[in-house]
Every structure is written in C-alpha cells, then in structure tokens.
Structure 1
Amino acid sequence: MGAWRVLEQRGQGSYGAVYRVEKGGHPEEGPFALKLALHLNDPRFEREGELLSRLQHAGIPRLVERGTWEVQGGGGFPFLVMEWVEGVPLYEWAAQQPLTSRQALKFLAQVASALAATHEAEGVHRDVKGDNILVRTRDAGAVLMDFGSAYYRRARVLTHQFPPPGTPEYQSPESQRFQWEARHQPSARYEAQPADDLYALGVTAYRLVTGRYPPALDMRVTEQGFEFFQPPWIPPETLVSVSPELAEIIQQLLSDEPSGRGTTQEVAEVLEHLARTAGPQADHLITPLPAQSNPVQPLRPQPSRAEAPWLAMTALVYLWLGAWWMNEGHVPAPGKVQQSQTHEQRDGGTVGLGEEVLSSPAPVRLLEPGVGGMLLDIPKKPLPGQRLPPCVKYTVELNGACWVPVRDAVPPCSASMYEWKKACYLPHVDPGRPSTSDAP
C-alpha cells in the first residue's frame, strides 16, 4: 500500500483493521501501525485523523500519515499510520503480575494527562477503558489508544441516533439519564463532555483494583412503569487492600455530579502528586480482603458453546420485554437518580487501534415491585407479552407460560429472575407478537 509494506495483521474491529507495517525502503525506522477502513470513504477516519493530528503527547500514539487507498471505480478506503506501541492492555497486565496502589496511581495519572491533552484540543475520547490503555513494554508507561470513537468540537456528526459511541459499562450517569429521557426523540443527540471521560477513568480504576465494576444502575418495574434504582455504593477499600489516597480519587471520579469530578488537568495533577507522596500503604500489593457481605467477584468468563444459546435467549428476553413496556407507553419520566453507575459485565473488548465500539446502552435489569434481593415465585398467570405453550427448545412450561431456566443459577436468584422449585427462571417473550409502536 503505497510506501507502506504490510508485515502482519494484528486485529480487526467494527470499522477498521490494524496492520503492523514498515516504511518501504526504510525498515530501520521501526514498525508502525496502519489502521485501514473496512468501508469505502468512511468519514470516521477523517475525524479520527484530524483529532490525532492535533495531539502531541507521550501517552497518545503519534500520527505519522493519513490517506486513502484508492480503488477502481472511484472512492477508496481511508487509512491512518501511527507509531507502533508494543505493550499489553491494562487489565491484562494487572492480571499477570502484582499491582500496588502507587503503580495504579501512576497509570491513572498518565492516562489523565493524555486526556487533559485531548480535552485541551477540544476533543473527547468517549471510550476510555482498560482495554484501550496499553502498558508499554519498554518503560511500563500507560498509552491511551483507539480514538475511533473520539469527537472534537465542530467535527462532523456521524451518530444520529442512540446509543452514543462508547462502551455501556463506562457511560456516565448524565449520559445514561439523557438516553433514557430522550428515548422517544429520534433526533436527540448526547454531547459528550470531558467529565464523561473522567467518569470512565473512574470505572477503569475501580475495575483495575477490584476486578469488578462499580455498583450498577438498574431499572425496576413498578405499578407506574419503569424507574431508576441505585444500589448502595461499595467502596473499593472494603473489597481490596487499596491505599486511602487511591480509594478517595476513585470515589471522586465516580461522582454523580460532573462538577464533583474536577477538571481533567486538576485530576492529572492530583494523581501525579499522589503517586509521589502517597503513604507507605501505597507500596503494598493490592489483595482481596477477607470474605464479607460483598465479596470480590471475578470477571465473568467467556460463555462456552453450550452456554451461548441460554445467554442469547436471556438477552432476547430483556430486549423484547423492555421494548414492549416502552412501546406500550407504560414508562413514566423518571425522577432524579442518586449516583447512577454501570453494570458489572465483562467488556466486549477491543483490538488496539482497530476497534471502534458502538455498543448498545447499558442493559436494563427488570425488578418486580417491592422486591429487594430476590424475586417472587413464578406468577400464576403469564406476564404481558410472554410466550404461551407450546414452548420452544430451551424453555419450559410453568403456570401456562414459557420460561427460560437459567443455567447454574440457584436461589436466592438475582433481581432480574423468578424462582420456582429451587431454580431461577426468566420469562420467554414471544418475538412474533405484532408491533405495539405508537401510531404516527
């Protein structure tokens, strides 16, 4: 491709593939990363390249060249060439070796500094997470990767409908509330701010040290419709032996109010200061504390082939039942939510520079009225929209309706499930029912 010789493909995402390349005739200059669009004339690459061209920071890959691979018939595939960053994703790095609070503070300070440079250039990354942060092999420095979802002021708008770019588990409370409140406004668009990146950095920090996500914002079904439900805050220091300085900054970054997180430059400076001055506990290894009422839960493994149909059906249940309630007009405008956060789920993951995640909003968990930690027994009658017998494969008939048994789940069931004879179930919603959308 022009002056670049492809050495190997290193990953592929939704909109681009990443190749390890070298400059033709100048292999001594070292390898570079070439990100090639998968779609003709993809405007995302123009936007990503423009923002990267404004950034000069040690924690951000340097843009070397941008252009288009022309093809016969007109048009072409845009590409970007950046410096090659040899390293390991942050979460993977932390899983391979011991981590101290001081090391975590240093990583977070370096990412915050890269974000400060991005925000100074009027950009917003919009997909900050551990999978988009590489720990550089040569010096263990943190590098913020994958600006495919990024946006800068006055850039061309490419996403005209929900969900906004990014990864649901890292979306800020204000983003989640906007998506909910504007769900019936097709032209509504959430304008990401630096505070959104700071919140995502807080989620990244919480998961880095605890191995789990902060308490998740849920929805519950009441007699009036849907309403937000915020579970209690679980301080990271109650789960792992994290230093008080790190615990405090994590809580600040996860503030419900954007102003409570501070400015990006302030956060970067505070983190750098804490990395230097934190007390002796910051040099102790971060380890799980003795089992408590909220023990540390490991990240969920990838489902096996045998489990995949069950998980897919569970997802359909959520989607169809949630859509039915919203389309039927049973959803009132929610009131103010206290410190909304994200679901504890495993990241879909990205492949370095090659991935741009445009995911669905944070999944909705359905809770029955007046229920706390566990749900009621299987109802006597079918739920609205629930499939009736004959039931299909992977489902069972209970009380005249079809239900999905949740494999390996045992009572007390989670808040999204029903209980029957010491097992947990989800309602199977019939995807064949006619549309209940409002008339135009």
Structure 2
Amino acid sequence: MTATLSRLPSGTVVDGWHVSRELGNGGFAVVYLVEKNGKPYALKVARHREASGDDKQTHARMVREATTLLMLNHPNIIRHRGYGYAETGNMYVALEYVDGWTLAEWKERKHPTIHEILRVFVKLASALSYMHERGVLHRDLKLVNVLIRKSDGEPIIIDFGCATYSMAEDLTEEGLPPGTERFRAPEQFKFLREHKNEHRARYAFKVADEIFALGVMLYELLTDPRPAENRPRIAPNNPLMPPPPVRRVNPRIPLALSELVERILSRDPSQRPVDTEALRRELEEHLERSGAEYMVPAHAPSEQWSSESSGVGGPPGVPSNGPTLPKRASRVLAAGAALVMALTAAVTFWRVSGDVPSPIPDHSAPPMTSPLDMSLPSPAPIVLPPATDVGQKEGSTVKMTTPEVPIQERRTRVRNKVSAAECAGLSLVAALAAGCPSSQIRPESFTCPAGAALAMEDHLHWETGDRFTLVIDDRHNKEGRVWFTPGSDVVGVVPKDNLYGKQREVAPTGTRFYGKVYYLSDKMGRADGPALVVRYDRVKLPGQDEHPICFVVEGRSYGFKDGRVEASNYLSGRVVDRWP
C-alpha cells in the first residue's frame, strides 16, 4: 500500500472536483485549485492514508480538520464545502477558494491606515470569539493564515490543520501542541523548562495563547514596514526581553493603541484581555474613538519597498540598488539589527542550556517561520456525517460561494426538532449535525481498554470502584474553587494530607494523574447530578513509570460562565471499567 500521496496532475478528477493546478504543499497536505460546476474551490488532500504507516498522522489531522470545520459557520472563517477520499485512499477536504492576499502581503501592497488595520483585527477577534464559544482553538494563528479577500477586503481565517475542539482526542506526543514558534505565548516555553524531565507532560493550550498570537500579528503589522519579507526579526516571545513598545518602534502609532498591544503581549496571561470577546470590544472601542491620527498609513509607503528595491542583504538602511531609506527608518533598522544579533546569541545560550529544544523545521510553513513540528499519535475513530457538496487552503487566495441551503439554516431546522435533553445522549458529530451547542455535548461513553485494565490490576493493584482523593489541577491551589474549561488538559496530584486506607499504598502522595476536563450542563437534564467530569487516562506514581488507567472524577458545579464550569479543585474520583 502506497504510504504517501502522488501529486495530482492537471486534469485529474476527484469526486467531480477537476484539478487545475497545485496551490501549495507542506509536510501534511497538498492543496490544489479545483473547479466544480463552473466555480473555483480549493482541495486539501492528506499526504497519507489511514493505514499507510503514517508516522505524522496526516490522515488523523485531516479528519480533525474536517470535524472542526463542520462546527463553524462564520463570514470570517474559511468555509467547508465537502470531504471524501481520492482514488489513492487519501482523505481530502474541499474548501471555498478565496482570491486575496495574506495579511502580510495586504499590508505591503495596500498600505492600509491604522484605522483599516484595526477594522480587520476587530473582525478577527469576533471570529475567534465565535470559535471559542464553540470550544474550538485554532492554535496556529499567524500572518499567512489570514487572507484578505480582494473583492471586499474581508479577513478570512484559514488552515485549521492544527486546530482542536472540546473533547477531541489528544494527537500530540510532544510537550507543546503543533504550531509556529514565533507566535507561541511565552508560558509555553516556561512549561517546557519546568517539565523538561517529564516526557509525558502536555501543555494545555488556552484562549490566552490565542490572544497572544493575535497580538503578535497586530504588533508586526504596526511596527514592520515589510512583514512579508523573509529576514531576521526580534521574537516577541523572547524569554529574556519583551519587545519594545509599538510607539517606540513606530511613532505614528497612537499611544493608547500601543499600550493595548503591550498588554495583549504581556508575559503574565492574567494581564491580557480575559477572552477574545473582551479583546474585540477593546479593539472596537479604539476603532470608534479613532481620530485623525488613525487615518494615516501605519508606515509611509516609501518605507514599504519590496525586497528587490530595498537591497536586502546589504547594510540596514542602505539599499544596494536604490535610493537611501529615510533617516528614521534607517536608524530603526540599524538598531533592530544590532538587537537581533544580541538576542540571537542570548537565545542560543538559552537553548544550549537544555531548557528548550531547538525547533524542528515544518516544511509546510513559509521560510520566514520556524515552527515546532510535533508528531501525532493515532486518534480514536471519528465517524463523519455523509459528505455534502458544499472548497481552500493555507497560504493561497479564495472567492466566496454560497451553498444551496445555508449551513446555519439547516442547523436551525434540525435544532427545532431536538431537545436539550436529547443533545445529552448524542455523540460529537451527531450533536453537531443536530445543532446542539458545543457546551452541551456530553463526554463520550467508554469501556476501559484492556491494556489499562491489565495495568491497573497487575501493576497498580487497583480495583474497580477504588476511590482516591486528589487535587484536580495542580496549577491551582487545593483549597477553593476553580473555573475549568471543557476540553482542556489537566494534571492532578495527590497532596500530602488526607490519605486514607488503601490510597496510602497504591496512590500515595505525589502521584500524578493526566487527563482532560469535560462537563455536563444543567440544561442537559442533569440539574441534580454531577456537572464537572474529569477523565484521567494515565498515572505516574513516585519513582515508577507511567501506566494507562481509567479513572473518573465527577463533581457538582457552582456556576457556568463563558463556556466554563466552576467547581472544587479537591475531589475524590473512582477507578472504573466503563463510563458512565
């Protein structure tokens, strides 16, 4: 069986999609411009098929991307138009085709005003708020993953290959989820340093990480005259030095906006806007209050020459074949180059010290980025609903098409027929098809795998029904209540006190439980039952190797807000052979 995808030549037909040409390719998928019924679409085809020895799990990524896109219907998010399998057996996802520029290209070609840039970011924050309400995290926001449509200037978020959603199986085998290093929040690298000796520790990606990535994008558009140019830059997440304020780099930027960007890029996540809806409101407030100082291009067009005319490769500010840069731009570039050299040396020392691994090149990313390419394990099978004829990809451009029956209309029709109580019993995809809100989808039922059952019996000496007490998430204090986000990863720990009976011997102090948070809302007919559900599937006793387990904690809630549930952080759970 062929392990990888052979390129599809022009003229190939895949399920009625006529291939015109290749738009782009990376380590996980190849994207083609295709035509169907006289309209252009984009066809994203996984490099591997399900049973082809796919060590990067590109098939699993494609299944997850298709499932994620089924959850979304927003004017500023790429639209799903179908999925299926090529003759080779490789899965594909069809997307709308957007005829536009990447965000960086738009900045250089159109010389937008500060007001126009803010308008774009208000819409991006609105789209992210919509995603987050549905439990979806993009996890790879960057300048090349946003397109500005030429026809109307609307921003479109693309490439959901790294995305995840509430209750999705964890595909990542490394400490950090897949993504691009430059746009990672600083706390991700801090996590790696603090857990470098725990090979199974996993960082729980949060909305705060998404907000930081959006802040990096805004920072670069406001401070960099040529963001699409491939050249060294100061890393906004540098562990030794935060980036200089926007206004210090570019005096054109109003002070209030500069201060907002500085807060978005704060090293302390609690200092950033609390969520993307709050960020949208702040950006919109700046937009509404903007005066004459917002109506000028973020950079003078004379500063935004292309790399050909700016003489890239020569001394900063001194083009090799063209006029001299303005004096202020020359000074900024020269100072920036010196700072880059100093920081490069510092970061090299930081990496060599062993705190953070060097990035692994991801050939699906453009040359200017250096993402960490994480390998992915096989997910649990996901059954997708029947394909619909409803096409685009990362880094290319896309024209809107309207399906015969809008997705939202179809969901509304079904939602009228499905009660909240019925939503409680549905699987993920069935609940999506029925139009149930993502916050009301119950955790999937499961039977404990044979390997976990054997490990608990033979190695841990645990029996079904044994109850152990632990701190649910060791990032928070044992006492008090915590707001838990469904779908997030948690690491529980057994504290020093309150060990009773059998737990002292088989789950002693320091035992660490690795799992994921779910919840059952009171709108699902569970008003008098447990609301918080945490499923732990791995455990590590002090001085021992990790073992697979089936351990569930259920607790009452004290409130629901913004897709989160408030519950105690110190509860008891039980060993199970199935759930519920």
Render the CA deviation track for 1:1-40: whole Å, top value 9, x for unaligned. Answer: 11211121111111011111122xx21xx21111000111
* Ranges in structure 1 where 5+ consecutive residues have no aligned partner: 219-228, 301-313, 333-344, 356-439
Distance 1:217 1:112, change over 3 A: closer
Q: Which residue among 47, 52, 74 is the counterpart of 2:64?
A: 47
Partner residue of 2:292? 280
TM superposition score normalised by structure 1? 0.63
Larger mean Cα displacement after TM superposition, 35-44 or 95-104: 95-104
Q: Which residue among 58, 71, 82 is the counterpart of 2:95?
A: 82
Partner residue of 1:36? 45
1:217 Cα deviation (Å)?
A: 5.1
One-letter amino acid matched to 1:230: L
1:296 Cα deviation (Å)?
A: 4.1
One-letter amino acid matched to 1:124: L
Equivalent pairs, count = 304
Q: Which residue among 49, 73, 76 is the counterpart of 1:59?
A: 76
Distance 2:18 2:328 in 1: 54
The alignment partner of 1:105 has SS state of: helix
Distance 2:210 2:278 in 1: 14
One-letter amino acid matched to 2:70: S
One-letter amino acid matched to 1:295: V
* Ranges in structure 2 where 5+ consecutive residues have no aligned partner: 1-13, 51-58, 228-232, 301-325, 338-343, 357-366, 372-391, 396-544, 546-580
In the TM superposition, 1:353-432 aligns within 5 A as: 353-354=393-394
The alignment partner of 1:31 has SS state of: strand
Percent sequence identity is: 31
Distance 2:279 2:65 in 1: 25
Partner residue of 2:244? 234
- Asked whether the 8 Å contact 1:36–1:78 carries over to 2, the reply is yes
One-letter amino acid matched to 2:43: L
- Asked whether the 8 Å contact 2:216–2:236 carries over to 1, the reply is no
Partner residue of 1:347? 369
- Asked whether the 8 Å contact 2:95–2:393 carries over to 1, the reply is no
One-letter amino acid matched to 1:11: G
Render the CA deviation track for 1:294-336: whole Å, top value 9, x for unaligned. Answer: 7246999xxxxxxxxxxxxx99x959x955x43xxxx79xxxx
- Asked whether the 8 Å contact 1:252–1:261 carries over to 2, the reply is yes
Partner residue of 2:159? 146
Render the CA deviation track for 1:138-168: whole Å, top value 9, x for unaligned. Answer: 0111111111111111112111114431110
Larger mean Cα displacement after TM superposition, 80-89 or 176-185: 176-185
Render the CA deviation track for 1:355-406: whole Å, top value 9, x for unaligned. Answer: 7xxxxxxxxxxxxxxxxxxxxxxxxxxxxxxxxxxxxxxxxxxxxxxxxxxx
Distance 2:292 2:186 in 1: 34
The alignment partner of 1:353 has SS state of: coil
1:69 Cα deviation (Å)?
A: 2.3
Partner residue of 2:277? 265
Distance 2:219 2:148 in 1: 17
Partner residue of 2:121? 108
Partner residue of 1:122? 135
Distance 1:189 1:6, change over 3 A: same
The structure with the largest alpha-carbon Rg is: 2
- Asked whether the 8 Å contact 1:35–1:354 carries over to 2, the reply is no
- Asked whether the 8 Å contact 1:215–1:234 carries over to 2, the reply is no
TM superposition score normalised by structure 2? 0.48
1:132 Cα deviation (Å)?
A: 0.7
Q: C-alpha root-mean-square deviation of aligned residues, in Å? A: 3.1
Correspondence 1:180 to 2:190: no
Distance 1:40 1:233 in 2: 43
Distance 1:290 1:299, change over 3 A: closer
1:128 Cα deviation (Å)?
A: 0.7
Distance 1:166 1:47 in 2: 15
- Asked whether the 8 Å contact 1:101–1:243 carries over to 2, the reply is no
Distance 1:201 1:99 in 2: 18
Distance 1:299 1:148 in 2: 33
Distance 2:18 2:295 in 1: 45
Distance 1:57 1:198 in 2: 19
Distance 1:216 1:277 in 2: 27
Distance 1:294 1:174, change over 3 A: farther
Distance 1:68 1:185 in 2: 39
The alignment partner of 2:332 has SS state of: coil
- Asked whether the 8 Å contact 1:147–1:353 carries over to 2, the reply is no
Query: Higher RCO, 1 or 2 (CA under 8 Å, sep at least 6)?
Result: 1
Distance 1:14 1:50, change over 3 A: same
